[in-house]
C-alpha cells in the first residue's frame, strides 16, 4: 500500500522530508506528523480550528524531534 503525502497535512518543508525518506519510514513519519500537529493544536486549546499549515514539525524519529521542535509560520 502506498502512503501518499497529503497537502492538507504537510507543509512544503515536511513534504520534502517525507519524500526523501525510505519507504519503510514513511508510515511512521505520517503518524509522527499527525500526532505532533494534533498534540500542538490541542495544547493551545484550539484543536483543528487552528490551521495545520501555520506551523511545521519534525516528522522524523531523530533525537531533535524528541525535543518537541515546532516552527510557527
Contact (Cβ atoms closer than 8 angstroms) between residue 60 and residue 29: yes
Distance CA 31, CA 47 (A): 17
pTM of the model: 0.75
Please determine, for residue 73, whether its predicted confidence score (pLDDT) is greater than 70.
no
pLDDT of the residue at 3: 52
pLDDT at site 22: 94
Find all residues with CB under 8 Å of 38, minimum gap 6, and list them.
Answer: 48
Burial of 65 (0-12, 13-18, 19+ CB in 10 A): middle
**pLDDT tens-place string over residues 3-54:** 555 666 788 888 899 989 999 999 999 899 999 999 999 999 998 888 888 8
Looking at residue 1, its pLDDT comes to: 43
Amino acid at each position: 500500500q502506498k502512503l501518499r503525502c497529503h497537502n492538507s497535512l504537510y507543509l512544503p518543508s515536511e513534504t520534502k522530508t517525507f519524500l526523501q525518506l525510505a519507504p519503510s519510514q514513511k508510515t511512521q513519519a505520517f503518524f509522527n506528523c499527525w500526532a505532533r500537529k494534533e498534540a500542538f493544536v490541542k495544547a493551545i486549546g484550539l484543536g483543528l480550528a487552528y490551521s495545520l499549515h501555520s506551523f511545521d514539525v519534525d516528522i522524523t524519529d531523530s533525537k531533535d524531534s524528541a525535543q518537541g521542535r515546532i516552527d510557527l509560520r
